[in-house]
Amino acid sequence: MLNDAADVIVVGGSYAGLSAALQLARARQRVVVVDAGQRRNRFARTSHGFLGQDGRAAAGIAQDARTQLLAYPNVQWLAGTAVAAQAQEEGFVLTTAEQTLRAQRLVLALGVVDELPAIEGLAERWGQSVFHCPYCHGYELNQGRIGVLASGEMSLHHAMLLPDWGRVTLFLNRSFVPDAAQLAALAGRGVVLEETPVVALVDQATLLLADGRQVVQDGLFTLTRTRLGSALPEQLGCALEQGPTGSYIRIGATMETTVAGVFACGDAARAFGNVAISVGDGALAGASAHRSLIFS
Ligand code: FAD
Ligand code: MG
């Protein structure tokens, strides 16, 4: 019923998309959420730092939000992947494997995908003992031994921040050579340097080095490369920004992209994101999409 004539289609039904859809649902708009179900933090057991939900299962937060959203009769949920989107004279057409949907506005809440460093044993430990966000998972390491696996010069930020969470060793892994000022800054923060390349991760977060040594750590942080969760923004012609880990969708103050009628929120529309920011940005994107139906 809604399929052919939604007011707004939200692509991505995780924190940002759920939050956008909730505002639109409450404005009695006909909303369709299309979601492929690949939440970025699905590798982690718990989520931290989101007010009122600190330490809860990441899946539980999203599940409760979805249950509350779907209580609104004007919301429809489609499990699946949106594969194409196009602007028409009036509104947009969006295609999934099964159907073609039409709406007057789009909200892109499609997240990013992490491309992990290619080190044996790392992928299995992602979200368990290997992380990228100190604010999300640093506290639980109890001021223990923290490794930073460098992936480039940006890893200096990790190494400089993380001493507030534990005793830090920076594994350079031939990814960059710190200059004298950087070495002094690292020393000032008590960071130990390890230049021998890393060949694998074993046990919880023990690094196996090329010379055969094993360095036991309680947790490991590394910066991933990120790419947008889907090619839809490019198909629609949305301008992108280049962030330190990858590109993201350019937005203005109301979360509208450079394509009129297309809004974006969450990790897909920021250089760095988390759950709280995604929920806030989603609420703004949802309300802005609604207001644009009236005022533009
Ligand atoms: P996502 O959660 O990535 O969701 C995007 C959704 O869009 C997915 O369901 C995806 O399948 C869907 N999608 C994409 N393309 C399409 C398409 N074409 N069609 C249909 N659906 C599509 N943050 C915290 O605040 N606290 C934490 O403790 C925390 N821990 C983390 C642990 C790990 C290991 C990682 C990787 C991240 C963690 N984060 C944490 C960050 C958090 O996961 C993200 O900031 C948050 O998930 C972003 O929400 P989002 O809605 O923007 O995108
Ligand atoms: Mg989302």
Query: pLDDT digits over 87-103, tens only?
Result: 998 899 999 999 999 99
* Residue 165 pLDDT: 98
Ligand 1 atom 44: residue of nearest CA: 274
Average pLDDT of span 166-192 = 98
Nearest ligand, CA of residue 268?
1
Residue 34 CA, ligand 1 centroid: distance in Å: 14
Nearest ligand, CA of residue 37?
1
Backbone angles phi, psi at 132, to 5 degrees: -120, -20
Residue 276 CA, ligand 2 centroid: distance in Å: 12
Give the pLDDT band (50/70/90) at residue 4: low
Task: Choose among 270, 267, 222, 223: nearest CA to 242.
Answer: 270
Indicate whether 234 pLDDT > 50.
Answer: yes
The alpha-helical segments, DSSP class H, found in 149-214 are: 155-161, 180-188
Which 3 state secondary structure label does DSSP give 161?
A: helix
Give the pLDDT band (50/70/90) at residue 1: very low
* Residue 101 pLDDT: 96
| Residue range 152-170, pLDDT digits in tens | 999 999 999 999 999 999 9
| Residue range 23-57, pLDDT digits in tens | 999 999 999 999 999 999 999 999 999 999 999 99
Task: Choose among 128, 138, 157: nearest CA to 170.
Answer: 157
Atom of ligand 1 nearest to the CA of 268: 52
**Type of residue numbered 94:** L
Residue 215 CA, ligand 1 centroid: distance in Å: 31
**Within 13 Å and on the Cβ side, how many CA atoms surround 138?**
20
* Residue 172 pLDDT: 98
| Residue range 111-130, pLDDT digits in tens | 999 999 999 999 999 999 99
Predicted TM-score (pTM) above 0.95: yes
